[in-house]
A and B are shown apart, each in its own frame.
Chain A
Amino acid sequence: MRTFRRGLLVGLLAVLVGVVVRVRAKGRIVPRTSGGWRELEGPDFR
């Protein structure tokens, strides 16, 4: 019974720690590019 309680406590603590220390990526890695977007116009439709 004592071992079971300890196990339960350890499991509970693990869940709590997991919830608190939920590691998620923050922000985005922006690819380094040169240039930009240009709207398609008349010559592009020929």
Chain B
Amino acid sequence: MSSVLLVGAGATGARAARQLVDTQRVTRIVVADREPARAAALADALGAAADTTPLDQPFPEGIDAVASAVPARAGALVAQRAIDVGVPVAAVADDRDGVAALLALDGAAREAGVLVAAGCGLVPGLGDVLARHAADALDRPDEAHVARVGAAGPACIAALRRARHEPALEWADDAWHVPDRRGHQLVWFPDPVGARECEIVAPGVELLREAVPELERASVRVGEVPVRRSAVALVRRKPLDDGWAGARVEVWGWRDGGRDAVVYGVIERPAVAAGTVLAVTAAALAGALADVEWRTPHPKGAQGLGAVVDPTTFLAELARRGVKAAVFEGFAVA
């Protein structure tokens, strides 16, 4: 029987909470948010298994894992507090500063003997796990390209907007490069998303390389910032957000002596995808999901999700919860 502290009751946090409630061996969920009323509303909706705690108070006794669904640097502060009391953390992070702040806790987490799983959303997060899964299917993977469209809540949209304005980053020839933005690239996602123009960005590429250290080339691309107001869509001549998020993972390498590629895709509502990944990771850290395995026994330190979790058991658990990845079977003919 496990207890999980959920920090953040926004779009992703609410979906993660629902997934945690549906996890048989998670018997207690404590919700904290900077807006106490929002935390209370979420706890009420979850039922008897949930209660709340003020965010500025010490963590409650008996917590087995922390699920952090707050943006950027706030997530690192939550993680630091968890490390101080020796509790593992699963944290969403979709901007470069947030990921860096979480990874900077590596020394403290190792000293405390706990794991800080950084980037437990769609991308970074599920995209890295899929990249690891694809890499395992090849004899010698050497190139990976991840793309994402969609955003969960306002904080996620803000992070996406920042990512598209900041300098991009890619891994090529064993070094980091700041690529010129030469325009968009058309990326093909599973239906109903289809083809979307995506731009190369920095957030997530470091965690992608951490998940697949064999890579010689790695990049992350994101689609346009979703437009959710019809007036803005009219003025800017952009399509209204259809409410879907997608990730596409393309890993190239060598298999049976020939050049080959493995392409995975996943389509889901953005908050559902990120919330489910966060909840499964936190539940596994709390010891409530025996089926989800780690790549090494008792992982510790601050690491990306794709580097620490066993992709097959993790993806199987996500599939059981309705977040199903797909593989592209085919080839380009022109």
Contact = CB atoms under 8 A, between A and B. Distances in A.
Contacts of B264: 40
Interface in B227-272: 237, 264-265
Nearest to A25: B197
B327 A40 contact: yes
A40 B315 contact: yes
B244 to A, nearest CB: 14
A37 B265 contact: yes
A45 interface: yes
Interface stretch (B13-21, B50-58, B159-167, B318-326): B318-326
Interface in B185-241: 186, 188, 190-191, 195, 197, 237
Interface string B294-334: 00000000000000000011011001000011111111111
Interface string A28-46: 1111111111111000111
Interface in A1-37: 24, 28-37
B218 to A, nearest CB: 22
A45 B316 contact: yes
A33 B319 contact: no
Contacts of B328: 35-37
7 contacts: A24-B237, A31-B332, A37-B328, A37-B329, A44-B312, A45-B316, A46-B312
Contacts of B330: 33-36
Contact of A28 (B186, B313, B316, B325): B186
Contacts of A46: 312
A28 B333 contact: no
Given A24-B237, A29-B186, A46-B312, A37 B333 contact: no
A39 B237 CA distance: 34
Interface of B: 186, 188, 190-191, 195, 197, 237, 264-265, 312-313, 315-316, 319, 324-334
Interface of A: 24, 28-40, 44-46
A32 B333 contact: yes
A30 B331 CA distance: 14
B313 A31 contact: no
A39 B312 contact: no
B195 to A, nearest CB: 5
Nearest to B130: A40
Contacts of A29: 186
A22 B334 CA distance: 31
A37 B190 contact: yes
A33 B194 CA distance: 13
A21 B272 CA distance: 42
A38 B331 CA distance: 14
A34 B186 contact: no
Given A24-B237, A31-B188, A31-B334, A38 B329 contact: yes
Contacts of B237: 24
* 8 interchain residue pairs of minimum CB distance: A35-B330, A32-B334, A45-B316, A37-B326, A37-B190, A45-B312, A40-B325, A34-B330
Contacts of B325: 39-40
A43 to B, nearest CB: 10
Contacts of A39: 324-326
A23 B333 CA distance: 30
Nearest to B329: A35
